[in-house]
Amino acid sequence: MQDRLPALVLNSEAVPRNTMDETPGTKANPSGSRAAGSTGVTDERLMLAFSQGSSEAFRELFSRYKQPIYGFFRRRVSEPAHADELAQETFLALLRAATRYQPRALFRTYFYAIGFKILRAYRRKAAFRATFFGQRNSMPDPAKPDATESGVWVRHAVEKLEPLDREILLLREFEQLSYAEIADLLRLPLNTVRSRLFRARTALRNLLEPTVESTTKDALHSSVQKGERA
HSE of 33 in the Cβ direction (CA atoms, 13 Å)? 25
pTM: 0.70
Residues contacting 158, CB < 8 A, separation 6+: 139, 166, 169, 170, 204
Q: Which has the minimum average pLDDT: 34-43, 149-158, 209-218?
A: 209-218
Taking alpha carbons only, the member of 56, 120, 104, 65 closest to residue 88 is 65
3-class DSSP assignment, residue 200: helix
**How buried is 126 (Cβ within 10 angstroms: 0-12 exposed, 13-18 middle, 19+ buried)?**
middle
Query: Which pLDDT tens digit goes with each residue over 29-57?
Result: 444 555 555 567 899 999 999 999 999 99
Measured distance CA(211)–CA(7) in Å, rounded: 48
Taking alpha carbons only, the member of 101, 90, 89, 108 closest to residue 15 is 101
Query: Which pLDDT tens digit goes with each residue over 100-120?
Result: 998 888 999 999 999 999 999
Residues contacting 92, CB < 8 A, separation 6+: 5, 8
Residue 140 has pLDDT above 80, yes or no: no
CA torsion angle 45 51 55 61 (round to 10) = 50
Q: Residue 206 is which amino acid?
A: N
